[in-house]
Structure 1
């Protein structure tokens, strides 16, 4: 397994992202994807090329932002499998930023990932390098979620005035919807009409509005997790320690029920324990992401807490579409950001938001 440069030490800030960080970032965002978020390899390749051509990208904290800074979210939307084959056009990002700045009336200085999970946690670094912008060490989810309404800013009550979407052909669409649920519906319909892959920008914010409304430190956290995995002799333990996560079970996949319904992957996966976990059985419920872990009829972990299936030997995350019968895996779980445990956070992204009629019980992370 290829190793990477040593990560910054705990407490030492990461202030710029270089090509040497992107492999680690990709590994980390895949783990934060909790089964969703799409594959990261093609995003890694694009971002490494952009950084080598345009130089490192400055990574700033919320406290670094000044009164003249404008932050905007930028992300891909659509089917990740299509995105592998239909790449963005050369001017697509520039046209998107130009329209966003026209609507804001001020230059954008800072990009932020809509979600740190999967490819959308990686691509903004390359876009920022190409556009000459800095990146905020934060995101809107702290993981991957399937719906545009499941944003920390929505929990915090920050309104999204508009969204801009561009496709590879050159079409630019501005959407002013009554809420993020309607934005999700309109954006998805436009994406399908554009070949099932687009790039979007929304949620313009200032230094004042971003504070307390985003999940901070997630870009550097993903890089640290990736470096820990890539440089470890025991990747599973290294990732669990870096995340303060608990290894719920190690075993092999013995049953898999997976189907595509309404554009989402739904189903369940059953894992039978091996080694020290022999005799145990867990079932994970899937809706793009891993949402529930059940054992002996008891819910051990539920959304919005994070659940990731990783390869038992390499520690790399396995997305829901890549799960296979017989794979040797470990199941990791760790607590979500506190914003998701508020009444509004649970309304948007708790078990009931995914159709499960059960109470949310906070998961406490690694056993002490």
Structure 2
């Protein structure tokens, strides 16, 4: 491990105490906020637990950093249902190393880490990297929910702006392990990392898009962990009979339907999971995350509104990759206004690929004032 970083006096930072209970609640809440995506909940709990067993990861508010400090985003890129993916914990640290090394060549460093989004894995992504490198994680994310594409998690950076990104992953034994560092336009870099994920079996660990703390404070979703923890507690500490209502209440949302998955179709293509599901007459589309919810031709919710599926009995979140026909689920919806969203959710151009992927109108509903 070769990470070098700028030093910040930890005694000057207000830190979050990270315990096993905190990891479990944030991972569960993150999985709900993942809206069907955001990575595996089981792997997230394992990853977060490994981090606190290894060392002392720290989370600090963005305000604890100097405006000019550099914040590096960590992420996973790929299709959740990919069956040949292989990313080890060390790969997440290695991705950070690669970007740090590239920046060191310019005489600059990294001062803090930030997760890309919320999700079962994404909400705790960064903990191990923090424990290993000593870099704090900031209480922010590129987005306070999960989203399918890299540009959506770019905090409003221009598609033509030069970005530095690194991706690491794949099964070494199968000859599919890849390490790539890309410096290109944001759009090109994101595309190349997505192609690397596809070549590596479906998933890579990523570090990308270093920005100043000042930029993150203006363009990222700030103070995201409290909501994730509150939602996770609602799932884990509520009795079965009221858990769905408690989760909806924590999100300022509603339980739209509770019923049986009547049909379900998923295809993994181009590094994404794309498909449809029907729950008790309610039609869902997804592109990694749920994109739309309709009933009898009426649109009920559209990304970036949160559409998420939970086990109807115990409220445990169910990702789009883990849905099955015949399963009893509840669909909970929360309006975008109830979520902490980054600048990537305000650009209509970033939503155009969704329509191509799922084949239903998105822009008319997500940006009614513009279309």
- SS of 1:17's partner is coil
2:208 is equivalent to residue 206 of structure 1: no
Match of 1:228 in 2: 234
What is residue 178 of structure 1 aligned with on the other side?
A: 185
Q: What SS does the aligned partner of 2:155 have?
A: helix
Q: 1:117 to 1:349 in 2, by over 3 A?
A: farther
CA–CA distance in 1 between the matches of 2:282 and 2:212? Answer: 45
Mapped contact 2:139–2:222 kept (Cα < 8 A): yes
Partner of 2:328: 328
> RMSD across aligned C-alpha pairs, in angstroms?
3.0
Once the two structures are TM-superposed, the CA of residue 189 in structure 1 deviates from its matched residue by 2.2
Per-residue displacement from partner, 1:279-337 (whole Å, max 9, x unpaired)?
xx211112221111111211111112110011111111111121112211111111225
User: 65-74 or 122-131, which moves further after superposition?
Assistant: 65-74
Residue 338 to residue 227, structure 1, CA distance change in 2 (3 Å): closer
Tell me: CA distance 1:79–1:238, structure 2 relative to 1, closer, same or farther (3 Å). same
Classify 1:82/1:47 alpha carbon distance in 2 versus 1 (closer, same or farther; 3 Å). Answer: farther
Q: Residues 195, 89 of structure 1: CA spacing in aligned structure 2 closer, same or farther, 3 A cutoff? A: farther
Deviation at 1:152, TM superposition (A): 5.3
CA distance in 1, matches of 2:106, 2:228: 30
Q: Which residue of 2 aligns with 1:19?
A: 20
SS state at 2:151 partner:
coil
Which segment is superposed worse, 227-236 or 344-353? 344-353
Residue aligned with 2:214, SS = helix
Instruction: Tell me whether 210-219 or 81-90 shows the greater mean CA deviation.
Output: 81-90
Bigger mean CA deviation after superposition, 347-356 or 193-202: 347-356
Structure 1 length as normaliser, TM-score?
0.82
2:276 is equivalent to residue 268 of structure 1: yes
Q: Using the alignment, how far apart are the partners of 1:232 and 1:242 within structure 2?
A: 12
Q: Within 2, Cα distance between the matches of 1:240 and 1:84?
A: 33
In structure 2, C-alpha distance between the alignment counterparts of 1:75 and 1:177, rounded to whole Å: 18
Q: Cα distance, 1:111 vs. partner?
A: 0.7
**Change in CA separation of 1:66 and 1:157 when aligned onto 2, cut-off 3 Å:** farther
Task: Give the aligned length.
Answer: 341
1:31 aligns with: 32
Q: Is the 8 A contact 1:255 1:270 kept in 2?
A: yes
CA contact (8 A) 2:307 2:331 kept: yes
Greater CA deviation, 21-30 or 35-44? Answer: 35-44
Q: Note the residue ranges of structure 1 that are not aligned, 5 or more in a row.
A: 1-12, 273-280, 364-368
**Greater CA deviation, 331-340 or 113-122?**
331-340
Q: Unpaired segments of 5 or more residues in structure 2?
A: 1-13
- SS at 1:92 equivalent: helix
Partner secondary structure for residue 77 of structure 1 = strand
- Once the two structures are superposed, residues 136-182 of structure 1 have per-residue CA deviations (whole angstroms, 9 ceiling, x without a partner) of 111112222221111251268994532123346686432122232x2
> Does the C-alpha gap of structure 1 residues 196 and 257 become closer, same or farther in structure 2, counting only changes over 3 Å?
closer
Alpha-carbon displacement from aligned partner over 1:69-105 (angstroms, at most 9, x marks no partner): 3210012223445587542447735633542541563
TM normalised by structure 2 equals 0.81
CA shift for structure 1 position 230 = 0.8
Aligned residue for 2:121, secondary structure, equals helix
